[in-house]
């Protein structure tokens, strides 16, 4: 099953990095967050990736074009320019990566629509290029196949940024410092999608999160896989610093530790 990753947005709230590189290339532990997302899927055997590119697409293309050279050990004859591999390094992977420039100004739904011929008529997985999760992919797929609907989204409850108060008649009855929210499930990405969903997307100006998903809801074809484990997006520098700290400790999303 192909894994589609939306990797073309501007990432304006991470301008410290994204003036120079696209958001999916912002590093966590020396590797782009995009690499971490792909490693999670690959840990469960899903290694056929399609990257929907846009803003600074050349940066992502060059990274994967030169991936083997960047991660392998090698010697180089500076006279002839000949390279000789000294063996694969620890970061060697056997992924198949298709890189498709879907347009710098194209919206999330439009990017998926542009991949119609690449996707074909098979179901596919889909996520954003800026969120990490310890999701169990076989469980997600099992849920999707069981309900037989058009699309499944992984619903998550993110960590609150501030302490949560419960108040009754002015009296604080509970205080939790930065708890996981008890209510308010949100779109955490990590979709499973049937190909007929593409017919709900109009054109390049269509946001995935608006008309297409709203139409799927109205049709009774939109299901949520509720994930109570780790999930963290990277919208700001503060988010990046949190993920960097987690990487240095014991990253819960690390695919190779499954």
Which H or E run includes 64? helix 57-65
Q: What is the pLDDT of residue 183?
A: 59
Is the pLDDT reported for residue 122 higher than 80? Answer: yes
Yes or no: say if 60 and 7 are a contact pair by the CB < 8 Å rule: yes
Q: What is the pLDDT of residue 168?
A: 75
* Cα gap 212→28, rounded to integer Å: 32
Q: What are phi and psi of 202, to 5 degrees?
A: -80, -60
Domain map (residue ranges) of the chain: 3-76+83-257
Q: What is the pLDDT of residue 164?
A: 60
* Cα gap 6→138, rounded to integer Å: 21
Superfamily of domain 3-76+83-257: Spore Coat Polysaccharide Biosynthesis Protein SpsA; Chain A (3.90.550.10)
Is the pLDDT reported for residue 181 higher than 70? Answer: no
Strands (E), the chain: 3-7, 27-28, 31-32, 48-53, 74-76, 83-85, 96-101, 124-128, 131-133, 151-156, 164-168, 171-176, 186-187, 191-193, 222-227, 231-233
CA-wise closest residue to 115 among 95, 90, 98: 98
70, HSE (Cβ side, Cα atoms, 13 Å): 10
Q: What is the pLDDT of residue 120?
A: 92
- Average pLDDT for 228-248: 94
> What predicted TM-score, i.e. pTM, was given to this entire model?
0.89
pLDDT tens for each residue of 160-170: 665 565 657 76
């Amino acid at each position: 099953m192909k894994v589609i990753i939306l990797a073309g947005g501007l990432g304006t709230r991470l301008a410290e990095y994204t003036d120079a590189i696209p958001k999916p290339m912002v590093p966590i532990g020396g590797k782009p967050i995009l690499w971490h997302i792909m490693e999670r899927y690959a840990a469960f055997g899903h290694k056929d990736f399609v990257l929907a590119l846009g803003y600074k697409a050349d940066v992502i293309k060059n990274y994967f074009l030169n991936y083997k050279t960047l991660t392998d050990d090698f010697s180089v004859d500076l006279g002839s320019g000949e390279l000789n591999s000294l063996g694969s390094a620890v970061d060697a992977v056997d992924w198949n990566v298709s890189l498709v420039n879907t347009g710098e100004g194209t919206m999330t739904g439009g990017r998926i629509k542009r991949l119609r011929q690449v996707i074909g008529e098979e179901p596919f997985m889909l996520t954003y290029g800026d969120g990490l999760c310890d999701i169990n992919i076989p469980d997600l797929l099992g849920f999707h196949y069981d309900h037989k609907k058009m699309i499944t989204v992984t619903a998550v409850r993110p960590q609150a940024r501030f302490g949560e108060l419960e108040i009754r008649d002015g009296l604080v009855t509970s205080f939790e410092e930065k708890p996981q929210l008890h209510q308010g499930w949100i779109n955490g990405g990590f979709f499973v999608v049937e190909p007929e969903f593409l017919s709900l997307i109009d054109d390049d100006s269509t946001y995935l999160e608006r008309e297409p998903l709203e139409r799927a809801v109205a049709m009774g074809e939109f299901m949520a896989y509720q994930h109570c484990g780790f999930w963290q997006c990277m919208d700001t520098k503060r988010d990046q610093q949190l993920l960097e700290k987690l990487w240095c400790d014991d990253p819960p999303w690390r695919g190779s530790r499954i």
